[in-house]
Structure 1
Amino acid sequence: MEWRLIKDSYHNGFINMAIDEAIMIAHREGLVPPTIRFYQWSPPAVSLGYFQDLKKEINIKVCQDLGIDMVRRPTGGKAVLHDQELTYSFIIKENDPLVNDSILETYKKISGGIIRGLSYLGIKAELVPLRGKLENHLLGRSDKARIHHLDFKSICFSVPSQYEVQVEGKKMVGSAQVRKGGVVLQHGSLLIKLEKDKLFSVFNFPSVQIIEKLKSKFKATSLEEILKKKIDFSELSNILPHGFEEEFGVRLVESKLTESEEKISKVLLENKYSTYEWNYLRKNNQLNFQR
């Protein structure tokens, strides 16, 4: 069985989200096979989970000062600062037997592919077995009361989630998923390099003291920290497909976006992902694509 692999280049956050939804639409209509896309972000961007409140959780001024875009994902989950990383999108029909129509099984299988891929780099990664309540034993009761909802719960890579990827007890891959029209779209970020100060600066917190406390307890890692050397996107995008092929028993064939997907992504960019209504208010018109 053949799936499609797209090794993409840098795009801004608005274009990246439009492309991923365009692939989702094309796959739903039977125009393209299941697809894995690897890509990067330029400029860096904070992607907000679908249900999050941008104004409440993101430090807009810091993002503007640092030239960091802010975009809402169609997937759920927590906010992510996309900077020095490999981002993947994984699009497949939710009734495909390889994911068994199960949300958790999809997470588990995709994470399994990443773990197998990382093994080619000599990295021994593992699945997070249970949904952790890490914040319960990271912080004292008084701290938790003061932080309330403006804490780890807003930030991806803060608390390991079930069936995500960790190395040496630290989270390395953050993932989020949406299912729409019978199709699964899963996003994930594999950290190449982690700049903790920059990450924490883009979120709203009640005080500097709380930021420093959370930073000291933050459990995430990156490829460069584990490997003790630099690694680039090109090398990663050549290695990781082997893990997905082994996990799913498929052959990944490198390709590009179709003309149809390019057209759909441009409409989505203009009418959804670049708009204030979508990013700040989570409102958008339902777009009807007819060809």
Structure 2
Amino acid sequence: MAHDIIIIGAGPAGMTAAIYARRANKTVMLLEAAAFGGQIINAHKIDNYPAAPNISGFDFAMKLYEQATALGAEFVFEKAVGIEDKGSYKQVNTPSASYQAGAVIIATGSDKRKLGVAREDELIGKGVSYCAVCDGAFFRGKTVAVAGGSRIALEDALYLTDIAEKVYLVHKLGSFRGAEAEFDRLKERSNAEIILNSDITELKGENALESIEVTSRDGSVRDINVSGLFVAVGRVPENQNFASVIDLDEKGYAAAGENCLTRTPGIFVAGDNRVKEVRQLVTAAADGATAATAAIKYLNDKKA
């Protein structure tokens, strides 16, 4: 067997799983389609992870990567496009290769959800962005908008108030559930304007974004001149490639509980791609530890 465990996804859940698996002396390969760290790498500052206050998402991800590699975890930057259950082993396929392991942990997390407005794709990189930390500096001294009502959207708006001349936050609902602290902080920023019960219904501009059309629940329409729009309307789980070996709920999340087990013995899930109530950095790390522990037990039981 080429590896004891293959982990698909090198975010916090995947890299935590790798650390636990290597400490149990299991050979580990992490398959990552993009860059290690997952979405946390874009966090300007992490305040809610125990014993690591005020660390940036990039620094946190780098520490995890360095810890995993120091323990001997192997990183391969390829996209997993499918898993085959071969009985005595699992085969993970990429566009250019196939890899075998005794167990697999799917820790693919989630991808950005789009706003779903006409010309959104056309204007990506021309005013439309999904990462305030990545692209905010391009809009220094300009007027921008953030779409969304999550804690991430509020954090993006707060971050942008330190860079942009003015920041509009557009939210389709009338309140921000579970993010009251960030909402209160944003209300105190003099260059922030919060627009509730409204949707962004049109993106305007010829070669780049120049304005957004905002339609409120009462039907009134407002054009707002902006140079940038940062979309933060949620995430989409990346599980479709593995639907042949795991069950998915109606939203595409892996149907696995706190034990991280799937319907296929030897295949586990961890992190934001599974059904769960809380999706936070600390719960992703907890999932990684749980899934790795379950995978280690599965492999050891097979040997017994």
User: Shared fold by TM > 0.5?
Assistant: no
Q: How would you bin the TM-score normalised by the shorter chain?
A: under 0.3
- Is the radius of gyration larger for structure 1 or structure 2? 2
Query: What's the TM-score, normalizing by structure 1?
Result: 0.26
Question: Which protein has the bigger helix share?
Answer: 1
Q: Which has the higher contact order (CA 8 A, sep 6+)?
A: 1
